[in-house]
Amino acid sequence: MHYRLLSALVASAAVTAVEAVEAAAAAAATYDYIVVGSGPGGGPLAANLARAGYSTLLIEAGGDEGDNPTYRDIQNFNEAANDEASRWDFWVKHSDDPERELKFGHTTYDTGDGTFYIGTKPPAGAKHLGIQYPRAAVLGGCAMHNGAVCSLPQDDDWNLIVKATGDTSWEASKMREYLKRIEKNDYLPAGNAAHGYTGWLATSVGDASFAKNVSLPGTKILRKLAELTGQDPDAVGTLVNSDILGDYKNRDEISSFYNMVSHADSQGKRSSPNNYIRATLADPAKYPLTVKLHTLVTKVLFTNSTGGMANAPPRAIGVEVMEGASVYKADPKHIAGTKGPVSQILAKREVIISGGAFNSPQILKLSGIGPREELEKFKIPVVKDLPGVGERLADNYEGSILALGAVPVDSGLITLIFRTPSAPTKNRNIFTWCGAFSFEGFWPGFPAYYGPNQWTCAMVHIGPKSQRGTVKLTSADPQDVPDINFNFFKDNGATDLHELVEAANLLRESWKSAGAPATPFQELHPCPGELGKSANCTDAAQAEFFKLQAYSHHASSTCAIGGDDDKLAVLDSKFRVRGVSGLRVVDASAFPVVPGAFPVLPTMMLSAKATEDIIADAKKSS
């Protein structure tokens, strides 16, 4: 299949509230704090620091699309992820095996004639790009182009940090307080002790009333799923409205339906760090927040002196930046050879990197913090030999079962979290949502549309055990994109694959209950043919399918928090980069493991905790 390449550099004539305050950056060369990246980690943090009275500069490589309905209206999230106005294309690998990589069904090639080819049989002369992993260079980060799904990590994901560092402030029960602090709940009556109602992040749910109509094919599937996961089929009309963010005893062990929560208001308008940043800028209190758009941070600046103390660690004192739209080569609008003016901006207190799981380790390495051998390879002066930077890249495995009904399958959205029989603990390990859509990962122009009869159960694997991914420099040029390899199924791969196959088998079994006229289903993958009659629908064949075709979009852990005895730990429990001072990383790269099924809400909670830690340190030093 072919898709047209995106156009050359375009400029917007719109002047936003953010752009109007950019002039302030030129007037002040020094800030208390510099925050690099405006996504779920950095955006709220910068706003919080400014609201606490600290002069804060928030640097974003992209622009502001907060008034653009493609981003503002949550129903347009597929268009947002494809939009050239914000998209950065990272062409990643899933393994070190070149032959295996070429078997990924949505491998992308540049044909050289202004189009992409997506597939496994490229035309002669096409340039292999890899597997598209779009990120959002825009005010608000990836919370501006995602599906806005909100879920919480397993308690074990928080408690893992306590075990590694001894810092009890990370206990799961305490981390829930940060959810309550940021949330503006729009779907439950005020007073629910598990939720917040005065925060900056709106949360809402959709209409699940379809589940009360037992004649619908979707409701028949729902009832069978209830039976297969130990729930009461006769209670599905109520179960589908269970609170996915609720505080239940043994929550992580309960296989249950839920009403999917979105970070959006009840009118379907996206709620994100963009809203919070803009509200902070517009507040009559005139908080000392400055936002600098279209600015790429090229490195962190250091001094070896901290007040004249002997043998003091290097201290971050600011950043070097390159100004200009689309100067980073992941931007599809980048024009070869384009550069921007380079300057320096200073921080009196700290520099905080929040560039995400790909760019945060890249910035650290360009600044001289990372594995010595890799830095010396590119003649980057070593500030601190920190071997864990760019290691332990993690993600959820994702896959889907896709079929065509005999007629359109009448249903609402089914959301289910459940445990497969071989899961290594009592905890749930699969998050699935089913409905009349298709979702098979990411490529230019995704998703494919298979007509009105399409039916999918998409799966997110919680707690993958077999990844050992890396983010490595390709040069010392900050405009270059790093080499990203997720190393899918590298360690204990058979275990994770078996869990995915078990999940697929359970979901497929439920489809048989849809009944006429929706059945028979014609499955497209992973078992092509009439549902239940494919001769090659063995566990081994499905495992091979998922090994080659699994995808992901929840990258984390490349600057992970860890204990003093962990040689790959990059951060301490207060987000401080080890071996230097005045420098922290606050984004999904800080998680030791990918947090639950969807990391956006956990990252916003992490940002609220970082706010508290940073301000506490500031007060100690005042």
The CATH topology of domain 183-269+394-467+488-549 is Cholesterol Oxidase; domain 2 (3.30.410)
**What is the radius of gyration, based on Cα positions, of the chain?**
24
Check whether 147 is labelled as a binding-site residue: yes
Residue 148 marked ligand-binding: yes
Contact, 218 vs 210, CB < 8 A? yes
DSSP 144: G
Give residue for tokens 């994770």: 496
Non-local CB neighbours of 599 within 8 Å, separated by 6+ positions: 554, 556, 588, 591
Peptide bond into 482 cis (omega under 30): no
310 assigned binding-site residue: no
CA distance 23 to 44: 22
Rounded Cα distance, 154 and 595, in Å: 7
Residues of the chain with CATH 3.50.50.60: 2-71+270-393+556-621
Identify the CA nearest to 501 among candidates 414, 416, 597, 420.
420
| Distance between CA atoms of residues 568 and 387, nearest Å | 6
Amino acid (1-letter code) at residue 191: G
Instruction: Read off the pTM.
Output: 0.95
Q: List Cα–Cα distances, 392 to 144, 360, 594, in angstroms.
A: 26, 13, 10
Q: pLDDT value at position 72?
A: 98
User: What is the CB neighbour count within 10 angstroms for residue 365?
Assistant: 24
Ranges for all domains in the chain classified under CATH 3.30.410: 183-269+394-467+488-549
Nearest CA-CA partner of 402 in 472, 457, 323? 457
Residue 212's CB is within 10 A of a number of other CB atoms, namely 12
Q: State the architecture of 2-71+270-393+556-621 in CATH terms.
A: 3-Layer(bba) Sandwich (3.50)
273-308 pLDDT, tens digit each: 999 999 999 999 999 999 999 999 999 999 974 444
Is 236 annotated in a binding site? The answer is no
* Predicted pLDDT at 2: 36
List the chain residues with pLDDT less than 70.
Answer: 1-28, 305-310
Give the helix ranges, DSSP H, for 60-154: 69-72, 77-82, 98-101
How far does Cα 96 stand from its chain's mean position? Answer: 23
Residue 127 token pair: 């340039």
